[in-house]
Amino acid sequence: MKIVSAKLYKLKLKLKKPFVTGFGQIKHKETLIVELLDESGCKGYGEASSLHAPIYNHESVDICRLVIERYLLPIIIGKDLGSVEEVIDIFDIYEGNNIAKASVEFALWDIYSQLVDKSLVELWGGSKKSIEIGANSIGIQNSIRELLSLVKDEVSSGLDRVKLKIKPGYDIDILDSVRDKYPDISLMVDANSSYDLLKHRDILRKLDDYSLVMIEQPLGTNTIVGHSLLQKELKTPICLDESIKDIETTKDAIESEACKIVNIKPARVGGAIKTIQINNLLKKNGIESWCGGMLETSIGRAYNIILSSLDNFDYPADISTYDHYFVDIVEKEPFPLNGNKIEAPTNPGLGFSVDSGLLERMAVGKIIIES
């Protein structure tokens, strides 16, 4: 494989309404699409689906663009590349910046799988033909009435597992109301790192009263120890998201029994190879996982869907139907829902052909890099 040029398209996609979480509001979903061209004319696509600002992790879309352009692309452009694994090892001379690394890795896998004419499900060792999808995440609402109406929509969609975003002050009351109306639904909450163990211990303990399937990332990103202390006080499984950044943090979480479930976002952990390694480590230690999303376009979602076909991704994935959040559509829905399932693509590459003309027209910023 020899990459001869790259294009980076920055997109700013309109959302139907702001997505509000414990870390702040997303009004426009920025993202960066990476397009690589191989010497044989084969194109590969990846997505750095971070946010407009460093509010989920430190990587905003503009930070990803800088890291990709200045540090990652020079490693691959114009070089004879062996395996994708080798490239990832070289990327790791740089600390962190996993969303940026993942986007380039996915574009390389796209090309590699087309060159060897094998599907990514096969190359990555996926075992499931179709993957189960959870109901859309419900952001923080202005009123309980609005929230209940959205919960009603999700329950009637027939998808399992309703997920509510919570934050301090928007927790016990809303859970009382939702459980009052829906005592039996499979319900989980995601706090996106917004609680403090010392300040909110009583409220966190009360969350045990709502038969939640899991509580996702209650405490800060950098506190595995805090989650370990909290998990010992709760019956409800803690699911870590932001805290699981790499193999090291995964080992810490396992050793300290900080969670019973992990939300693996392939972007957050730095791509497919890291996802597979982390998932295998979790599986060996009896910790279940599921595949989270970052409001990706269909390009990023394709890889999430394919990785969800791995063993141990046993909870429904956080992969919403594309037109649920977005007004601007990058591609028509390439992965339709079939009941509560999506088929993992069996053809080589990311499973559909990307319309680069449309990317050109939608881009609010574009960079071209050639060898």
Just list the catalytic residues.
165, 265
The dihedrals phi and psi of 214, each to the nearest 5 degrees, come to -165, 160
Q: Angle CA(230)–CA(235)–CA(240) in degrees, nearest 5?
A: 55
Tokens 């394919």 belong to residue: 306
Q: Under the criterion CB under 6 A, does residue 192 sit at the interface with ligand OSB?
A: yes
Pick between residue 139 and residue 345 the one whose CB is nearest to Mg ion.
Answer: 139
Q: Which amino acid is at 347?
A: N
Judged by CB under 5 A, the chain residues 211 through 230 that form the site for Mg ion are 216
| Local structure of residue 69 (DSSP, 8 states) | I
Q: What tokens were used for 162?
A: 């309703």
Q: Under the criterion CB under 5 A, does residue 154 sit at the interface with Mg ion?
A: no
With CB under 6 A as the contact rule, the residue among 36, 174, 219, 295 that binds ligand OSB is 295
Nearest-CB residue for Mg ion: 241
Residue 295 near which of ligand OSB, Mg ion, none (CB within 5-8 Å, type-dependent): ligand OSB
With CB under 6 A as the contact rule, the residue among 97, 119, 137, 141 that binds ligand OSB is 137
Residues in the chain: 371
Q: Under the criterion CB under 6 A, does residue 293 sit at the interface with ligand OSB?
A: yes
- 3-class state of residue 140 by DSSP: coil
Binding mask 22-61 for ligand OSB (x = CB under 6 A): ----------------------------------x-----
Which of these, 169, 165, 172, lies nearest to 147 by C-alpha position? Answer: 165
| Local structure of residue 207 (DSSP, 8 states) | G
Tokens 């999303």 belong to residue: 293
- 3-class state of residue 51 by DSSP: strand
Q: Under the criterion CB under 5 A, does residue 190 sit at the interface with Mg ion?
A: yes
Which of these, 35, 34, 40, lies nearest to 81 by C-alpha position? Answer: 40
Judged by CB under 6 A, the chain residues 314 through 353 that form the site for ligand OSB are 318, 320
Pick between residue 3 and residue 166 the one whose CB is nearest to ligand OSB.
Answer: 166
Binding mask 227-256 for ligand OSB (x = CB under 6 A): --------------x---------------
Which of these, 84, 146, 140, 145, lies nearest to 116 by C-alpha position? Answer: 84
Binding site for ligand OSB (CB under 6 A): 56, 137, 190, 192, 241, 292-295, 318, 320
Binding site for Mg ion (CB under 5 A): 190, 216, 241
